[in-house]
């Protein structure tokens, strides 16, 4: 009976993971398939689709636009998110929980709501849609990611270290830069990497706020609409690897910090 | 005012309230330059709040804290010439031992070569110079404590505050660190303000002790004064062990307990107005026989039990009023054995019966 339960659980886990990861693996597999039609078995492997990417200027411009959006948006979100986390954690703000929730909201709400409302706001303010407006849109949902990771880290950070620093002659500002920041650095970095990943893949908010430009995920989306090309599989594979890489770094940073903290507390 | 006599830390009529809770009640305290001053009391007595107000992390609701004669109420902690050794050491985990100790000097932009020699000098003082490049989490509790001391002393503050610095250490390490602290304080000649709930620690380390309870200062004095002449029943019971017997004064040196015990006491000071008082008799002052003519006071009691402590033993009795009476005796082979329920007369001298105010809270 116990054995059956164990096998059942294993089978269930297998189904869940297959459902999550099989499409990704299949797409990666077909990005190396020479044939234009996606059918098994694969007759011949090729790098042609990847080679084709290099000559696709449209793709490169879109990729560049994505970076133009994601990097500054992430940088701003680091500053806003860290400061917000610090304020919420260090000072008892009246209605603090509610205010935190308000900052979290853009991350939870469907992108379409953020997208349309910002779109209307910019129209009202007579701001032309551009990569700049997309950056602002992205800041709204990366900031909460940074904020909550940093807050979690600050909760486990010994406040006496800040007191000790001020006691030894450092102003609150220098204390933050010399003592607090180095100790929450990994959480800030992890937040930034996760934020970057989300921003880099984001379509909906960008769609409502962008002018004539294209970001990479938007271009892929429009490519799919115009008909399937195995080149999409190749781009897709690269994005998956890029994102997984960032997430892996962020994750290892967070876990490394947690473990070292756990050891020193023993 | 003569400059040498000027208090390095002075609290004048300081009160501190947190909402409705009064943590400090009208506290007056004057700490002299160069002394080892301890503040003792049970948890919640306001000693940590007092320390925080001297450091600048908390502010008096009423009254003022003076540092070297000037009001410090509006001086932030980082501009006070006062450093703190925190209970959990608060060493910066992302810096080496060297960088931790160098931190206060780096902030003041002291030249690098000067920093180096002073850090090494400071670490030598606490025998931690071989550990320069270690990270704080590679150190034991006692080692961390030494580094924290070196770091707090390197910029030569006027006052060093120590917030229960030894409470996290085991017994032997604590004794060793007590010696280190005492010698260090003489060596650097800096005023130490030492917070502890351990009365034994306070007695053995301090030049003067302040005893607090529930935000009220009960007594300030030298360890001998506090131990030999406690002024309130709380001080008598908190600093060392004491037998407290309740009663009233019927003359300047005549005490009558509620249970009818009559005793001659030392001279009472301004206690005649009190409806009732206690006499405090230390366990080691009691005798089971009338050693000489001076032991004029006799207390009849019933033997309860004996507790063995190695070099000495403690006998518990019960007097007529029901109070337990402790008697401490050195083990010298000639100690009489008592059986349970046996009636025993206990003797003590008038000067060993200290009249204390009824003030437990």
For the stretch B157-169, pLDDT in tens is 999 999 988 887 8
Chain A residue closest in CA terms to B136 = A264
- Architecture of the domain defined by B236-357: Beta Barrel (2.40)
- Architecture of the domain defined by B3-227: 3-Layer(aba) Sandwich (3.40)
First vs last Cα of chain B: how many Å apart? 35
pLDDT at A4: 84
Distances (CA, A) of B127 to B147, B192, B278: 9, 20, 48
Distance CA A180, CA A187 (A): 12
Does position B9 have pLDDT exceeding 70, yes or no? yes
Answer whether B167's CB lies under 8 Å from B87's CB: yes
Collapsing DSSP to helix, strand or coil, B203 comes out as helix
Chain A residues with beta carbon closer than 8 angstroms to that of B82: 167
Give the range among A212-216, A234-238, B50-54, B329-333 with minimum mean pLDDT.
Answer: B329-333
| Rounded mean pLDDT, B69-80 | 90
B83/A167 Cβ within 8 A: yes
pLDDT, mean over chain A = 84
A168/B152 Cβ within 8 A: yes
pLDDT at A15: 92
Distance CA B167, CA B185 (A): 19
pLDDT tens string A9-38 = 899 999 999 888 888 888 888 878 777 776
For chain A, say whether B44 makes contact (Cβ under 8 Å): no
Collapsing DSSP to helix, strand or coil, B197 comes out as coil
Q: From the CB of residue B177, how many other CB atoms can be counted at a distance below 10 Å?
A: 21
Chain A residues with beta carbon closer than 8 angstroms to that of B108: 169
Distances (CA, A) of B129 to A51, A246, B119, B147, B261: 61, 42, 9, 9, 62
| Rounded mean pLDDT, B348-353 | 89
**Residue of A168, A181, A259 for testing the chain B interface, max B β-carbons within 10 Å:** A168
Does position B361 have pLDDT exceeding 60, yes or no? no
Does position B224 have pLDDT exceeding 90, yes or no? yes
**Residue of B77, B95, B108, B155 for testing the chain A interface, max A β-carbons within 10 Å:** B77
Does position B293 have pLDDT exceeding 70, yes or no? yes
Tokens of B100: 């931790």
Domains of chain B, by residue range, sit at 3-227, 236-357
Residues 6+ apart with CB under 8 A from B63: B11, B12, B13, B14, B15, B26, B27
Share of chain B above pLDDT 90, in %: 50
Render the burial of A209-230: b for 16+ CB within 10 Å, e for the rest: bbeebbbbbbbbeebeeeeeeb
**Residue of B58, B67, B75, B78 for testing the chain A interface, max A β-carbons within 10 Å:** B78
Bridge partners (DSSP) of residue B299 are B346
Distance CA A231, CA A47 (A): 10
For chain A, where are the alpha helices, taking DSSP H only? 2-30, 48-55, 57-90, 96-108, 111-124, 131-155, 159-167, 172-175, 181-201, 204-209, 216-225, 230-265
B107/A168 Cβ within 8 A: yes
For chain A, say whether B107 makes contact (Cβ under 8 Å): yes
Tokens of B354: 């200290």
| Rounded mean pLDDT, B299-303 | 90
pLDDT at A166: 94
Does position B132 have pLDDT exceeding 70, yes or no? yes
pLDDT at B222: 95
Domains of chain A, by residue range, sit at 48-265
Residues 6+ apart with CB under 8 A from A13: none
Tokens of B186: 């003489």
Tokens of A79: 């500053």
What values do phi and psi take at B33, rounded to 5? -65, 130
pLDDT at A203: 85
Between A182 and B253, name the one with better pLDDT: A182
Does position A265 have pLDDT exceeding 60, yes or no? no
Distance CA A38, CA A60 (A): 25
Bridge partners (DSSP) of residue B254 are B264
pLDDT at A263: 43
Chain B residues with beta carbon closer than 8 angstroms to that of A153: none
Between A47 and B121, name the one with better pLDDT: B121
Q: CA nearest B345: which of B308, B299, B303, B312?
A: B299
Length of chain A: 266
Tokens of B129: 């110079």
pLDDT tens string B320-333 = 888 899 999 887 76
pLDDT at A129: 77
pLDDT at B272: 63
CATH 3.40.50.1820 describes domain A48-265? no
pLDDT, mean over chain B = 88
Q: Kindly indicate the confidence band of residue A266, based on its pLDDT and cuts at 50, 70 and 90.
A: very low
Chain B residues with beta carbon closer than 8 angstroms to that of A264: 93, 137
Chain B residues with beta carbon closer than 8 angstroms to that of A163: 57, 77, 84, 86, 90
Chain B residues with beta carbon closer than 8 angstroms to that of A166: 57, 76-78
pLDDT tens string B234-286 = 999 999 899 999 888 888 788 888 888 888 887 766 666 677 888 899 999 99
For chain A, say whether B92 makes contact (Cβ under 8 Å): yes
Length of chain B: 361
Residues 6+ apart with CB under 8 A from A193: A246, A247, A249, A250, A253
A167/B92 Cβ within 8 A: no
Share of chain B above pLDDT 70, in %: 96
């Amino acid at each position: 009976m116990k054995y059956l339960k164990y096998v059942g659980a294993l089978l269930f886990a297998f189904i869940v993971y297959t459902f999550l990861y099989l499409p990704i693996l299949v797409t990666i597999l077909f990005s190396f398939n020479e044939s234009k039609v996606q059918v098994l078995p694969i007759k011949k492997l090729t790098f042609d689709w990847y080679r084709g990417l290099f000559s696709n200027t449209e793709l490169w411009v879109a990729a560049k636009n994505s970076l133009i959006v994601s990097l500054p948006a992430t940088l701003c979100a680091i500053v806003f998110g860290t400061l917000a986390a610090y304020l919420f954690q260090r000072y008892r703000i009246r209605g603090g929980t509610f205010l935190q929730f308000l900052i979290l909201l853009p991350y939870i709400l469907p992108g379409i709501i953020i997208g349309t409302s910002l779109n209307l706001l910019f129209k009202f303010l007579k701001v032309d849609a551009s990569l700049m407006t997309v950056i602002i849109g992205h800041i709204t949902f990366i900031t909460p990611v940074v904020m909550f990771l940093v807050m979690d880290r600050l909760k486990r950070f010994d406040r006496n270290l800040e007191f000790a620093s001020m006691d030894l002659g450092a102003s609150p500002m220098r204390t933050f830069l010399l003592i607090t920041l180095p100790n929450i650095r990994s959480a800030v970095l992890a937040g930034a990497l996760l934020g970057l990943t989300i921003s880099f893949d984001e379509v909906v908010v960008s769609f409502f706020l962008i002018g004539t430009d294209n970001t990479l995920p938007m271009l892929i989306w429009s490519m799919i609409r115009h008909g399937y090309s195995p080149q999409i599989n190749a781009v897709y594979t690269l994005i998956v690897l890029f994102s997984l890489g960032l997430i892996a770094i962020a994750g290892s940073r967070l876990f490394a910090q947690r473990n070292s903290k756990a050891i020193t507390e023993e | 005012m003569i400059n040498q006599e000027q208090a390095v830390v002075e609290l004048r009529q300081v009160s501190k309230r947190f909402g409705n809770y009064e943590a400090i009640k009208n506290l007056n305290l004057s700490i002299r330059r160069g002394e080892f001053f301890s503040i003792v009391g049970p948890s919640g007595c306001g000693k940590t709040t007092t320390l925080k107000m001297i450091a600048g992390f908390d502010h008096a609701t009423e009254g003022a804290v003076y540092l070297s004669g000037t009001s410090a109420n509006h001086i932030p902690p980082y501009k006070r010439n006062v450093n703190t050794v925190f209970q959990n050491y608060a060493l910066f985990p992302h810096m080496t031992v060297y960088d931790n100790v160098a931190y206060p000097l780096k902030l003041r932009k002291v030249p690098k070569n000067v920093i180096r020699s002073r850090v090494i000098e400071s670490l030598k003082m606490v025998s931690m110079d071989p550990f320069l490049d270690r990270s704080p989490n590679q150190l034991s509790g006692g080692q961390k404590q030494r580094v924290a001391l070196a770091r707090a002393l390197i910029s030569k503050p006027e006052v060093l505050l120590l917030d229960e610095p030894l409470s996290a250490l085991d017994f032997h390490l604590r004794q060793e660190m007590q010696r280190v602290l005492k010698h260090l304080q003489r060596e650097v000649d800096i005023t130490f303000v030492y917070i502890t709930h351990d009365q034994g620690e306070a007695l053995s380390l301090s030049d003067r002790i302040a005893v607090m309870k529930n935000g009220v200062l009960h007594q300030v004095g030298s360890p001998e004064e506090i131990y030999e002449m406690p002024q309130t029943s709380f001080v008598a019971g908190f600093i060392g062990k004491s037998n407290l017997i309740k009663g009233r004064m019927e003359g300047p040196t005549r005490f009558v307990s509620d249970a009818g015990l009559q005793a001659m006491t030392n001279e009472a000071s301004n206690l005649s107005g009190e409806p009732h008082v206690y006499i405090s008799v230390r366990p080691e002052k009691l005798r089971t026989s009338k050693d000489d003519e001076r032991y004029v006071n006799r207390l009849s009691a019933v033997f309860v039990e004996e507790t063995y402590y190695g070099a000495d033993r403690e006998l518990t009795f019960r007097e007529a009023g029901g109070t337990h009476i402790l008697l401490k005796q050195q083990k010298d082979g000639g100690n009489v054995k008592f059986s349970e329920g046996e009636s025993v007369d206990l003797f003590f001298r008038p000067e060993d019966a200290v009249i204390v105010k009824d003030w437990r809270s």
